[in-house]
């Protein structure tokens, strides 16, 4: 039993050293040349994986800063899963809850990480639209419009879809940035920037109990937001619905009950 405990202690010490070699001493009796191989292997594997999973996040940081963030992740985050495909979610949780940002960090750091995480999550999402029993070409105003299971909508403070080395906003946008991020039937992940009204319409579709037609949803929305010209909203709403169907954010319509 004592030998088992001693072995566990060495395992914990070994793991702690790999996470933070500058502050956690290596277990006694292991040649540093051998340890160096493991230190390099573990860090570089994580570096390469996260660089692939968060390409924009990596691109807008110096390599030193990106390495620092990964090292902080290794040092402080206790992952809840060993699965490769859930690594982006673990890194996102670290940035949102544990990372000690300083004055030099971008204010949109967590939002950009979330946006890149969503793209990854959608690319491997196993849900599909095989249960859809409506008409792909059905009337989206007279019928009940149906949203794809592979279309997710989010509101951001920053225009995360535009961030790049030559566009690094220092302050939030004046209005929320609504994005529908979706996966098409060819498995390509795309996004559509929405205005506030279209975002509200898509939310109403998502939360429809299956009894309200597209026209009823639009009329209810007009009343909620006090839109002065209901007919104009119906016209613009119909065009927005058709665009979202073409993009496969909507997959068709069911008959209204």
What is the reported pLDDT for 64? Answer: 96
* Average pLDDT of the residues of the chain: 90
Question: Mean pLDDT throughout 149-157?
Answer: 98
Confidence of residue 145 (pLDDT cuts 50, 70, 90): very high
Can you give the pTM of this predicted structure? 0.89
Q: Count the helices and strands in the chain (H runs, E runs).
A: 9, 5
- Whether 30 contacts 38, CB under 8 Å: no
- Is residue 17 very low, low, confident or very high in pLDDT (cuts 50, 70, 90)? low
Name the pLDDT band for 101 (thresholds 50, 70, 90). Answer: confident
Q: What pLDDT, on the 0 to 100 scale, is given for residue 41?
A: 85
Residue 34 pLDDT greater than 90, yes or no: no
What is the band of 166 on the pLDDT scale with cuts at 50, 70, 90?
very high
Q: What one-character DSSP code corresponds to residue 61?
A: S
User: Under CATH, which number does the domain 144-254 receive?
Assistant: 3.90.930
Listed as own residue / partner, the contacts of 148-151 with beta carbons closer than 8 Å and 24 or more positions apart are 148/182, 148/183, 148/248, 148/249, 148/250, 148/251, 149/125, 150/122, 150/125, 150/182, 150/183, 150/248, 151/180, 151/181, 151/182, 151/183, 151/248, 151/249, 151/250
Helix (H, G, I), strand (E, B) or coil at 82: coil
Whether residue 244 has pLDDT greater than 60: yes
The whole-number pLDDT of residue 6 equals 66
Residue-level pLDDT at 2: 53
- Alpha helices by DSSP H, the chain: 2-19, 32-53, 55-59, 63-76, 87-97, 109-124, 196-206, 214-224, 230-247
What pLDDT does 208 receive?
Answer: 95
More confident site: 8 or 4 = 8
Report which of residues 150 and 102 the model is more confident about: 150
In the chain, pLDDT over 90 holds for what percent of residues? 73
How far apart are the two ends of the chain, measured CA to CA in Å?
68
Does the pLDDT at position 1 exceed 60? no
Q: What is the pLDDT of residue 113?
A: 97
Of 96-105, 117-126, 172-181, the least confident: 96-105
Question: In this predicted model, what pLDDT tens digit does every residue of 37-96 receive, in sequence order?
Answer: 777 888 898 999 999 999 999 999 999 999 999 999 988 888 777 777 789 999 999 999
Domain boundaries of the chain, sorted by first residue? 2-105, 144-254
Mean pLDDT of 147-151: 98
Question: What is each CA distance from 116 to 51, 91, 119, 161, in whole angstroms?
Answer: 11, 11, 5, 9
Residues 228-245 have a mean pLDDT of 96
């Amino acid at each position: 039993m004592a030998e088992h405990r001693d072995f566990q202690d060495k395992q914990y010490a070994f793991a702690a050293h790999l996470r933070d070699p500058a502050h956690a001493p290596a277990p006694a009796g292991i040649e540093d040349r051998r340890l160096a191989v493991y230190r390099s292997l573990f860090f570089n594997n994580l570096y390469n994986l996260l660089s692939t999973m968060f390409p924009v996040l990596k691109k807008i940081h110096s390599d030193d800063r990106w390495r620092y963030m990964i090292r902080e992740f290794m040092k402080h985050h206790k992952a809840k899963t060993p699965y490769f495909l859930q690594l982006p979610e673990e890194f996102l949780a670290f940035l949102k809850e544990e990372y000690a940002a300083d004055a030099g960090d971008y204010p949109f750091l967590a939002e950009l990480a979330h946006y890149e995480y969503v793209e990854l999550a959608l690319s491997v999402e196993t849900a599909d639209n095989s249960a859809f029993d409506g008409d792909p070409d059905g009337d989206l105003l007279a019928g009940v419009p149906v949203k794809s299971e592979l279309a997710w909508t989010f509101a951001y403070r920053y225009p995360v879809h535009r961030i790049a080395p030559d566009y690094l906003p220092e302050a939030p946008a004046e209005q929320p940035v609504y994005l529908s991020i979706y996966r098409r039937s060819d498995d390509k992940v795309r996004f559509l920037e929405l205005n506030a009204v279209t975002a509200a319409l898509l939310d109403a579709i998502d939360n429809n109990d299956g009894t309200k037609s597209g026209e009823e949803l639009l009329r209810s929305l007009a009343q909620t937001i006090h839109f002065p010209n209901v007919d104009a909203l119906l016209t613009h709403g119909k065009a927005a619905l058709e665009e979202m169907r073409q993009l496969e954010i909507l997959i068709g319509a069911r008959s209204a009950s």
